[in-house]
Amino acid sequence: MRRSNLPAELNRFVGRAAEQSALTALLETSRLVTVVGVGGVGKTRLALRAAAGAQKRYGEGVRIADLAPLRDPDLVAHALVEALGLTDHTPRGPREVLVEHLAERRTLLVVDGFEHLVESCAPLVRELLAHAPGLTVLAVGRRPLRVAGEAVFPLAPMGEADAVALLAERAAEAGAPVVPDAVDLAGKGTGAAPEPGAEAVRELCRRLDGIPLALELAAGRLPLLSVEQMLHRLDDRFRLLTDGERGALPRHQTLRTAIGWSHELCTPEERLLWARLSVFAGPFDLEAVEYVCGSRELPPERVLDHLGGLLAQSLVSREDTPAGPSYRLLDTVAAYGAEWLAALGDTERMRRRHRDWYMGLATWCELEWFSPRQVEVAARTDAALPNLRAALDLCLELQEEAHLAQHLAGTLWFAWVGCGRSPRAGTGWSGRSRWSRGTRRRGSRRCGCWGTWRCSRGTARGRWRRSTSAGSGPVPRGTRWRRRTRRTGWAVSRCSRTICRGPSR
């Protein structure tokens, strides 16, 4: 019997050097290691690479059991017997055969694609580890086994350099025109300008979240489409990224089926939460999820458990920020959830609840700005900016609610003046809301103009600071900078009085 049944690589393994080293080191200290990650992130390829590099440490070699095609939970033990190449003509069950064979052997067993059979796979793995001290199990799936002694290895999407290198490699294999690779993007290390189109390649890799399956499917389209054309069509990524390798599992042939397989593994409540989480435009915290996504069908007190289920399946990732723990959906995962939310006809209602929460957060932050909690306010505002921008966009889309956009833009004056950002950005926010159609509310217009005035003062002060740092010396009281800020404040105040009075009769 061969010492290993690992399949040979059909193309070059690209990137993941740090992850491979970390996984190999973890196999030296743990007898059960589970590689988890979102669909298409490259779990199996990395696990096989690490197993091949570690097989010299195992006298009986490395064996892989692929459980992905299996549907009957009662056949898991039979699949492991077949993977080990065992034949037994006695009336013993497959568990007994496995335990007897592995008891005195030093073996690395790779169990791939177990996520849909986790209820039957986990007890079997626990039993084998308990009776075979020389056995090491490397499990690969979309969720942990949750067995005692398990070391979970979460696999994140590729970094930018690895993602670009993979896209360039697979595009060349597909016969596409030359795609700038990671060296080209760095200017070939000589200070030279990057290749034309390098920024478009970066953007494509970012929008595909660095997911290897998505990058390989995109590379398969590059003989037909340019990178720029791909970017224009990514709004419908699930229709674009199809035609995977022939012979691969159906769920690995298109991006939709890869993400859809995770959707099938979720409970109905987790699917509903996934759809509702798609309204968030960036990182979000638990309190926001409980308010925005909670309902009679999804009680707020149960949201924590369902969010944990999505986190365990790598559909939601956790980030530690200065504002505290937050969570995030990959763009691809969010796009899939948004399709389901639209199918439920609940998109507008959830966007309004999202807007209401972040308007409340902005109001709280403004009230607490001049308090001992100013550092916390700044951190929460910084983390919430993508979602605040999404809330403003919704207000501007709905003509009857444009006054709320003015209120929100004016409330956030402190974010531009006091949090170290460019005041021009705040002026742009206030300007968009102030001149939008349907804004006739006096208080909201005054609030918007107030925000614009504060941001304009910040812009003028920034120009003055740049002029002094350039060597022009200190500017005395009453000079050009102060006159400019006074004129700006007077003009905006006059504009505010005119707008709040309404048109002359």
Examine residue 42 and state whether it is found in any structural domain, yes or no: yes
List the one residue out of 151, 171, 167, 150 whose CA is nearest residue 159: 167
DSSP state of 476: P
Beta bridge partners of residue 284, listed in sequence order: 327
Cα gap 4→68, rounded to integer Å: 19
Quick one: what percent of the chain has pLDDT higher than 90?
Answer: 31
* pLDDT band at 379; cut points 50, 70, 90: confident
Q: E strands along 86-244, which residues?
A: 107-112, 135-141, 150-154
Query: According to the model, what pLDDT value does residue 412 have?
Result: 81
Examine residue 292 and state whether it is found in any structural domain, yes or no: yes
pTM reported for the whole predicted model: 0.77
Do residues 385 and 504 share a domain?
Answer: no
Cα gap 153→144, rounded to integer Å: 9
Q: How many domains does the chain have?
A: 4
Structure tokens at 267: 């409970």
Distance of CA 319 to the CA centre of its chain: 10
Domain that includes residue 224, residue range: 161-187+198-257
* pLDDT band at 168; cut points 50, 70, 90: confident
Do residues 26 and 118 share a domain?
Answer: yes
Examine residue 90 and state whether it is found in any structural domain, yes or no: yes
Do residues 311 and 418 share a domain?
Answer: no
Cα gap 70→84, rounded to integer Å: 16
| Cβ–Cβ < 8 Å for 461, 480 | no
Do residues 356 and 413 share a domain?
Answer: no
| Cβ–Cβ < 8 Å for 222, 176 | yes
Mean pLDDT, range 182-197, rounded to an integer: 52
Structure tokens at 479: 């000079």
Examine residue 2 and state whether it is found in any structural domain, yes or no: no
Do residues 24 and 143 share a domain?
Answer: yes
Examine residue 493 and state whether it is found in any structural domain, yes or no: yes
| Cβ-based burial of 119 (10 A; exposed 0-12, middle 13-18, buried ≥19) | exposed
Residue 161 CA: distances (Å) to CA of 184, 222, 331, 494 = 10, 19, 19, 52
List the one residue out of 65, 135, 148 whose CA is nearest residue 100: 135
Q: Quick: pLDDT tens for 476-499.
A: 444 433 443 343 333 333 333 333
Quick one: what percent of the chain has pLDDT higher than 70?
Answer: 77
Examine residue 113 and state whether it is found in any structural domain, yes or no: yes
Examine residue 273 and state whether it is found in any structural domain, yes or no: no
Do residues 360 and 434 share a domain?
Answer: no
Q: Which CATH number fits the domain that encloses residue 34?
A: 3.40.50.300
Asked if residue 351 has pLDDT above 90, the reply is: yes
| Cβ-based burial of 355 (10 A; exposed 0-12, middle 13-18, buried ≥19) | buried
Do residues 137 and 169 share a domain?
Answer: no
Query: According to the model, what pLDDT value does residue 273 have?
Result: 95
